[in-house]
Every structure is written in structure tokens, then in C-alpha cells.
Amino acid sequence: MATIRDVAKLADVSVSTVSLALSNPARVSQKTLEKIRQAIAAVGFVADPLAQSLARGRSRMIGFIVGNVGNPFFGDIRRELENYALDHQHFVVVTDSSGKTDRERAMVEHLIGLKTAGLALAPSGHDRDYIDFIAGLNLPIVCFDQKVAGIERDFVGSDNYLAGAMLTEHLLQLGHRRIAVITGPSHMHTATERYRGFADTMANAGVDINPNFVVDGQFTRTAGYEAAMRLLIQPERPTAILGTNNAVALSTLQAMQELGFRCPEDISLAMIDNVQWSSVITPRITMVVQDTLALGGIIARRLMHRITNPQGAVEPPQDFVLTPKFVPGNSCRRI
Amino acid sequence: MATIRDVAKLADVSVSTVSLALSNPARVSQKTLEKIRQAIAAVGFVADPLAQSLARGRSRMIGFIVGNVGNPFFGDIRRELENYALDHQHFVVVTDSSGKTDRERAMVEHLIGLKTAGLALAPSGHDRDYIDFIAGLNLPIVCFDQKVAGIERDFVGSDNYLAGAMLTEHLLQLGHRRIAVITGPSHMHTATERYRGFADTMANAGVDINPNFVVDGQFTRTAGYEAAMRLLIQPERPTAILGTNNAVALSTLQAMQELGFRCPEDISLAMIDNVQWSSVITPRITMVVQDTLALGGIIARRLMHRITNPQGAVEPPQDFVLTPKFVPGNSCRRI
DNA sequence: TTATCAAATCGAACCGGTTCGATAAAGCCT
DNA sequence: AGGCTTTATCGAACCGGTTCGATTTGATAA
């Protein structure tokens, strides 16, 4: 591999001039610029990113940290960020924390060690320790998906309250009153907001919520399945179920199928968030989906803005909350 | 951030001794080892991975390059690799080429620039140029999924011929004769092998293949959908369709639903590869799945072996081919 | 006591760039 | 021509580690 010294030697200039020519060509005369250009081509020089990062104290990498890269929601965002970053000479390093806070922390620390230019982070933690950790980081960070109280950073996400409210309203409109909800972890902002949207809408309609109809699905497949089962074996069953994320909703569908309940004939089902291949799942589930492409675009722009703009670092954090979209399916029937 | 020189100063030893103590404690006396240990703790020293990589000419990172990180197949493999690598003090950098050869190349070059210790690569290319590029790389590489003729590297994958043969045999057993197949790109090893398995099994059973029943689905959603449509609008329809990957098979199911064909009553469907939430898709599709966890484990072990073992680099490349598993569903009926 | 050898430690060069103050060259004005 | 800027280039220090040959220390043997 050719180094900058090889180039300098061949072009008969100093190393620092070559470096300058590369980083700020305007300050170098046309004549030497041309000599250097030729020398670079002749030896096939490519700057070593590692050496650059070490000297600059900053790399051209962006860290992307989520709990599950396989989740298409994160996948879409990743793609948008990657495209945008690539257009701006930055490289995205994707890491998966599997939703574990300690692992996420290890990964963030590793990324910091790599002197990444910035971080796009879907936070997995929520306690004091975690918040302090994030707060203590001294580099551009854009958080997304989970809004964590106490983290003073840019945040990009969807209106989860509205998501819960929209589907609840839809079910009420169809005549449902015995509506059950499968919730997510209470420490997650998305979970509490979606539930709030549900509860407020029910209250506004003057419909009481049956306490037995509120079960915790932890946003996971297994817990969601168990939660659904608990709902379905009750003597007085709900006429409709709202799954507050895709995992619990689809687990519910599975549970219903296994117990011989038809959807929507016996029980209606609505879900928040999309899922791959939702179009071939029978019935097509009525859902509220997030605009992942828009979210990804905003995250990318905001992060690159903070990275490339010198004064971007001191701009106060800002929240970007997008409106989710209602996508009707045929999993909810009128009663 | 504390540097190694801070530690050396505090412990009153030379910088090189500190470095030695860290990399090979046995060569340092107990006394100084202890002094250094305390100094490290006192200043909170953590070695800068960038500086280490630059000096060593090698980092503790492993590159993982696939065409679609969202694909659960790759997701499972990634997880296995990540766990194993983390246990061995290595960090996995995930990159997504979106299946584009030039993008993959750019990413590989970037990873090389990062002086990654090794690469786990699902190759996306197949032409001379690409093969030469991969062959020219001078670091441990384990290829997986696609076996590319001409690439002399370790390879980990499944017996795709068998996968095609198993499902074909299954359909034949059920009495099907008019079996259609939706194939993948002819330059992909998995695609050709799966088709070979189909064709040979048909031939062995003495069943002629209707040329109209062989359509190209490109392993993609859109092309698969179109291919399925071409099959389904023929006056003489197949009684069973073999989708040679999940995208084309599920697109076929979608096309069938849209045209009002019931599965399996009107047409049976079998597919190669799994998909997330397959258990809630109606009907549950009969499929042959790869043992992703085992694949990931082998990839991880093989790669780390080559990385950590000095003589591992010169070991001749080896192929690891696993047997896929038949998973019965209810998408194929006896006729 | 001194020669011998292994173990422990050190110094300096190196990895491949960046940065900034100093110097040299060129341009402008009186 | 002399003084004053501006522009172009350079040298050296630096980023934070590793590596290896050289030197010092300590123990053992003669």
C-alpha cells in the first residue's frame, strides 16, 4: 500500500503539502496540485482511514444501534440512513444490541472508541444510570423510536398516542365495546403512549375498560402469545383485540387460530406497526404503520447536519414526531 | 482520555513496558505488573482501538457482508457470529450491500481499510472481475450462502440440490404431476442447484416438465409475483407450485389469493427457506428450511479459527454443506 | 570475585496520516 | 529599490499505540 510519503517523494514536495492538497486544494498552487495528482495516480495512493481517524480524532463512520436489525422497521430506517450517509462520504456501522442494555452500552463504547462521527440510536434503557451514560457522551446523537424522558437529544419518532387512538376509534366506530388491548413494557414510551391513546379514546367514548381486557405482552412473541391466551380463555371474551405492536398482534392471531377462533368473524384484531409480508397474512390485518422512510430521512439529515455543521453541535435538541398512517385490512368487522 | 504514557509516568516505567504488560504479562515481573495495574486503574486507562489497529496493522473487527440484513436467514447467522465473536473479543461490523455488487465491493474495501481481522461474506457477484477481486484479498474470509465457482475460500451453506429434490419428491408422493417451479437468477448457485434438484427428481420419477411451468422469479418479490401471474393465467394450470425461495413463494401465495385460487384446495404450494411469522400465514406453507443457527456457528468458528490461528491462514479452503430440514405445513394436498 | 546467561526493562523507530507555526517566494505599493 | 502583504510550501510535533534490538539487572556457576 502506498503511503502519503511515497506520493510526496514522487511529486517532490513535502508530506504536509500533499496532505493539504487533499484536504484543502484551494490553498495549493495549480502546478503542485497537478504534480501531486499525477503522483497519487502513479502510486495508487488511498488514504488510510485508520490513520486519518487517529490523527483527526474523528472518523467518517456513523454508528447505528438498534435492538433488532432484522425488524423491517429498523431495516427501512437503516437503509435511508445508509444511503444518505454514503452520499456524504460517511459509512454506517450497524450494530445490534438484541435489546440488552448492557450490550448496547458495550457497543456504544466500542463505537466511541472507533471515534465515530455520530450515532443514530434506538435507546433500549430507561433508568438513571443509562440516561447519565447517554448524556455523558460527547458526540452528535440522534435518538429514535423510543423517547426516553431525561435524555436531552434530538428525537425522531411517531405519534404513538395517535396510533393507539386511531385504531381504538376505528374499533369503536365498528360498534365494538368489549375491546381488549395487549400492551408493551411499561418502561417503554411507545408502549405507554399507545396505551394512553387507547385508554383516552375509550374514556372519551364513555366506554369502560374491563381490567381483564388489559394484558401485558411485553412487545415480544412469547409474552404476547401468553397474553393472548389469557384473553381468549376468559369466559367473557372481547369482541376485538388491539395489539400494540406487531409481535403481540401476530402472536394473538396465532393463538386465535390455534384455539379455533376465526378472525374477524369471532374476534376482530388491529395492530400497530407493519410486518413483512403482511399482505399474505390472512386476514390482512388492519393496522397503523409508521412512515419508516420519512423517519429514516429525518434521522439521516439531522445527524449529518450536526456532524458537518460546526455550530450544529450546540443547537438545542429537537423532537420530530410524525403522524402514523391508518392502513385498513379485513381483520375488523362491524358488530 | 488517559493514554499509555500517562500510565507509564505514574507507574514509573517505560511506555514499552506498559504495552508489554498488557499484551504479554508473563514477561513482566510481578512487582512492576502490580504497579502498572494500579496506575491503569488510577488514571482509568483504556487502550485506543484505533491506535492499536494502526500499529498492529490489524483490528479486532470482523466484517459481515450480506445482501439484506433484514432477511431472517442472515439475521440468525449474524446473531450467531456476533455472539461467538464477542466471546472472543471481536466486534462484528454489519454491512448491507442491498445485493448490489459494486456496493458490496465498496463496503469490502472500506472494511479492508478498517483492517478487519476477517470477513464473513455472502457473495453477491459471479463474474470474472468479482472473483478476481475476492481472490486478491489477503485476509481470512469465510463465504456463505452462495457458492461461487472460482472463489477459493471456505464456504458454508446448505445442500440446495437436496432442498429442491425433497419438496419435489413430496409433491410427487402426493400425486402431483403438473408441478410448476419458480426459479431464481441463473447465476446464483442456490438457484441452479435447487432447480437441478427439482428437475432430476422429476426425471427420475419419469415425469415430464412442462416448459411453460418453469418461470423465472429472480428470487425477488416483484419478479416472483409476475412469474406467478404468468403461471396462473395459463389455461392449463399446474396443480402444485414450487417456490424456490421465500420471496417468490409468498408472492405466489399473494397472486393466488388475488386471483381467487385457494391453497391448497386449488393449487398446492411448497417453498424453500423460512420466513418470519410463517406460523401465522394461512395456509402454513410446506417448506424446507436451512439450519441457520448451525450455519452461523460454523461460519463463526471457522472464521475465528483462521483469524486466531497463525497457521490457519494457509489451511486449504473447505466446504461445509449442511442438510436442510423438511417442515410440513398444510399447503400441499393429495390429489 | 568474576564470567555467563536469562529475565526484565528501556529507547527509538514505526504505523500513516494531520496540523500549525515558521519560512520562502511572489505580488503590490510608494 | 525597499518595505509590506499575501500566498505557497515546509518541518516538526503529534495522534496513541506496538515492536524489536539493545541495555540493565539479577541470579547462578566457576
Residue in the block written with cell 450536526: A306
Which is nearest to A93 in space by CA: A106, A107, A105, A103? A107
The pLDDT > 70 percentage for chain A reads 99
Check whether residue A39 has its CB closer than 7 Å to nucleic acid strand C: no
User: Mean pLDDT over residues B303-312, rounded?
Assistant: 85
Asked if the Cβ–Cβ distance from A115 to B50 is below 8 Å, we say: yes
Is B304 within 8 Å of B88 (Cβ atoms)?
Answer: yes
Could you tell me where the beta strands, DSSP code E, fall in A210-302? Answer: 214-216, 240-243, 268-272, 286-289
Gap from A246 CA to chain B (nearest CA, Å):
10
Distance CA(A303)–CA(B66), nearest Å, equals 25
Using 50, 70 and 90 to split pLDDT, how confident is the model at A169?
A: very high
The predicted pLDDT at position B312 comes to: 65
What mean pLDDT value characterizes chain B?
Answer: 95
Name the residue with cell 398444510. B330
Identify which of A70, A98, A107 has the shortest CB distance to residue B72: A70
Nearest to B228 by CA among B210, B247, B200, B209: B247
Which of B46, B48, B50 to mutate to test binding with chain A, by most A CBs within 10 Å of its CB? B50
pLDDT above 80 (res A164): yes
- A:B CB pairs within 8 Å: 98
β-strand pairing of B141-144 with B214-216: unpaired
User: Taking residues B59-71, what's their average pLDDT?
Assistant: 94
Q: What is the CA radius of gyration of chain A?
A: 26
Q: Report the Cα–Cα distance between both ends of chain A, in Å, rounded.
A: 73
Given a cut of 90, is residue B309 above it in pLDDT? no
- Measure the CA–CA gap between A195 and B179, rounded to whole angstroms: 49
Cross-chain residue pair A110–B95, CB shorter than 8 Å: no
Place of cell 500533499: A18
Nearest CA in chain B to A115: B50
Q: Is the CB of B308 under 7 A from strand C?
A: no
CB–CB of A48 and B276 under 8 A?
no
Strand order, beta sheet including A268-272: A214-216, A179-183, A240-243, A268-272, A286-289, A325-327
Residue A314: the pLDDT is: 78
Select A57-157+293-322's CATH number: 3.40.50.150, 3.40.50.2300, 3.40.50.970, 3.40.630.30.
3.40.50.2300
A210 backbone dihedrals φ, ψ, rounded to 5°? -75, 120
Secondary structure of A103-121 in HEC code, one letter for each residue: HHHHHHHHHHHCCCCEEEE
Grid coordinates representing A9 are 517523494
Contact A50 B115 (CB under 8 A): yes
Q: Which fold would CATH assign to domain B56-158+293-323?
A: Rossmann fold (3.40.50)
Q: Reduce the secondary structure of A169-223 to three states and give it as a string.
A: HHHHHCCCCCEEEEECCCCCHHHHHHHHHHHHHHHHCCCCCCHHHEEECCCCHHH
B57 touches strand C (CB under 7 A): yes
Contacts of B48 in chain A (CB under 8 A): 54, 113
User: Closest nucleotide to residue A15 (Cα to C1')?
Assistant: D10
pLDDT tens for A239-277 read 999 999 999 999 999 999 999 999 999 999 999 999 999
* B65 three-class SS: strand
| Distance, CA of A10 to CA of A40 (rounded, Å) | 9
Backbone angles phi, psi at B117, to 5 degrees: -75, -25
Question: Which residues does chain B have within 8 Å of residue A72's beta carbon, measured at their own beta carbons?
Answer: 70
Cα A234 to Cα A238, A257, A271, B222, distances in angstroms: 9, 16, 21, 43
What percentage of chain A exceeds 90 in pLDDT?
93
Per-residue model confidence as pLDDT tens digits over B142-159: 999 999 999 999 999 999
User: How many other C-beta atoms lie within 10 A of the C-beta of residue A208?
Assistant: 10
Residue A27 CA and nucleotide D4 C1' are separated, in Å, by: 21
Lowest-pLDDT choice from A138-152, A211-225, A304-318, B70-84? A304-318
Domain edges within chain B: 4-47, 56-158+293-323, 160-290
C-alpha cell of residue B75: 439475521
| Grid coordinates given for B78 | 449474524
Q: What is the pLDDT of residues A281-322, one digit of tens each?
A: 989 999 999 999 999 999 999 999 999 986 766 789 999 999
Q: Report pLDDT digits (tens) over A22-75.
A: 999 999 999 999 999 999 999 999 999 999 999 999 999 999 999 999 888 999
Does the pLDDT value for residue B182 go beyond 90? yes
The phi-psi region of residue A326 (left if phi > 0; otherwise alpha if psi is between -120 and 50; otherwise beta) is beta
DSSP three-state, residue A95: strand
Chain B residues with a Cβ under 8 Å from any Cβ in chain A: 46, 48-51, 53-54, 59, 69-72, 75, 78-79, 82, 91-96, 98, 110, 113-115, 250, 253-254, 257, 275-277, 279-282
Residue B310 has pLDDT above 80, yes or no: no
- Closest-approach residue (CA) in chain B for A73: B70
> What's B160-290's CATH class?
alpha beta
Fold: same for B56-158+293-323 and B160-290:
yes
Continuous segment of H or E residues that includes residue B61: strand B61-66
- Tens of pLDDT, residues A62-117: 999 999 998 889 999 999 999 999 999 999 999 999 889 999 999 999 999 999 99
Query: Any atom of strand C under 7 A from CB of A55?
Result: yes
Assess whether B23 (CB) lies less than 7 A from strand C.
no
Q: Binning pLDDT at 50, 70 and 90, where does residue A121 land?
A: very high
Report the 10 Å Cβ neighbour count for A135: 13
CB nearest to B114's CB, from A50, A54, A75: A50
Q: Report how far apart, in Å, the C-alpha atoms of A27 and of each of A19, A334, B61 are.
A: 11, 72, 37
- Measured CA to CA, the distance from residue A256 to residue A229 in angstroms comes to 8
Predicted pLDDT of residue A312: 65
The distance of B266 to chain A (nearest Cα, Å) reads 17
